[in-house]
Chains A and B, each alone.
Chain A
């Protein structure tokens, strides 16, 4: 399978701060990839670089086999609507819908019309007066109706009501099935969106902590809960990402797999072991301050891929 997106050792510095640090990420063509991590993890910076709106300080980026920065042939294949996209002051919905096809050669009027109707986007209100949810709706219309081979959706759910989120998922999957493309979607609503993904990238503090097939994420970490001394004893030599304690009870989210011996011990001592769910993993990674030794360990296990 060829890669729609290929980032090798991509670093982006803004003055003193490093927004992305030696990021290696590949997204195969036709994939729906979840881009996850805390605020400030580097998700939007990464999308801007993929979209050719920003340039890495060092490293190499290829989108559909070419460098995206100031590259017209790539930009025609790409759709990226920022979560804080601005529109000209006097713009209403019809202005946006009129010019959007100029930038999207695969534009679908039908998709746009169905979404505008389903989201109930007001036609006469100036866009600058739109609510957060209405702005998200416009961004989703632009993202999906463009049918771009590489579609980047940055926090598409902000302010969307539950009906609108279901409509978004429905249209995304239907149109993706009919017109396969590569989709990267960043979100904090991990539980609600995780079933959409076949790939997952988790960023933290500008570094890639997980880049994996969605299905394999279950094997990356586990949670162990039970009496505090039991949990501490069993995880003494492991990389513990996060712990929660109340009165003698502890729950720990731990990298890697639990060996059979520890699993048996855990059961005999009344502790519970379960694969960490994606949202537990994202939350735990966001809490964890990695030691350099931890990162090396994950690299060996292929977690950082």
Chain B
């Protein structure tokens, strides 16, 4: 469920963000409460609140007092922009590192990316 690579609240925030990007939670729709998330994932409720608050602080979620937490208008674009900033560190850096470890030269690596792109179309 959760791995040991990062604190659970960060992993929970990333998972909710994934769901927003995938359209599981459309903009202006409610997300599950921290309590529901805690019970669902069997995690401490304070940890769940902290995960939700990461996205509230980012502006992707907002709280309606006494009602719940909702996906903000523009949240998908906001999260996409954020993820793009992480893309190089999270995906490109390990890709280049692994390619180097395997002696895959730059031209071959580019060719692989091109091939992968066409195969996913």
Contacts and interface: CB of A to CB of B under 8 A. Distances in A.
Interface of A: 32, 166, 169-170, 173-174, 176-177, 195-198, 214-215, 218, 274-275, 277
Given A195-B47, A215-B9, A174 B39 contact: yes
Report whether over half of chain B's contact residues are helix, strand or loop; otherwise say mixed: helix
Given A173-B43, A214-B47, 5 more contacts: A173-B35, A173-B38, A195-B8, A198-B44, A198-B46
A210 to B, nearest CB: 17
B102 to A, nearest CB: 15
Contact of B42 (A166, A218, A274, A277): A166
A177 B35 contact: yes
18 contacts: A166-B42, A169-B42, A170-B39, A170-B42, A173-B39, A173-B42, A173-B43, A173-B44, A174-B35, A176-B45, A177-B35, A177-B45, A195-B2, A195-B41, A195-B47, A214-B47, A218-B7, A275-B4
The 9 closest A-B pairs by CB, nearest first: A177-B35, A195-B43, A277-B4, A169-B42, A173-B39, A198-B44, A198-B46, A174-B39, A173-B38
Interface string B73-103: 0000000000000000000000000000000
B44 A195 contact: yes
A215 B43 CA distance: 12
A73 to B, nearest CB: 28
Contact of A197 (B2, B4, B39, B44): B44
A214 B42 contact: no
B39 A177 contact: yes
Nearest to B4: A277
Contacts of A198: 44, 46-47
Interface of B: 2, 4, 7-9, 35, 38-39, 41-47
Contacts of A218: 7
Contacts of B8: 195
A174 B35 CA distance: 7
A198 B2 CA distance: 16
A197 B4 CA distance: 15
Contacts of B43: 173, 195-196
A173 B35 CA distance: 8
Given A177-B35, A215-B9, A218-B7, A195 B45 contact: no
Nearest to B46: A198
B23 to A, nearest CB: 27
A257 to B, nearest CB: 16
Nearest to A178: B35
Contacts of A214: 44, 47
Contacts of B46: 198
A107 B41 CA distance: 27
Nearest to B41: A195
A196 B42 contact: yes
B83 to A, nearest CB: 24
Contacts of A176: 45
Nearest to B9: A215
A195 B43 CA distance: 5
B11 to A, nearest CB: 10
A218 B10 CA distance: 13
B41 A215 contact: no
A32 B7 CA distance: 17
A177 B46 CA distance: 10
B44 A32 contact: yes
Nearest to A175: B39
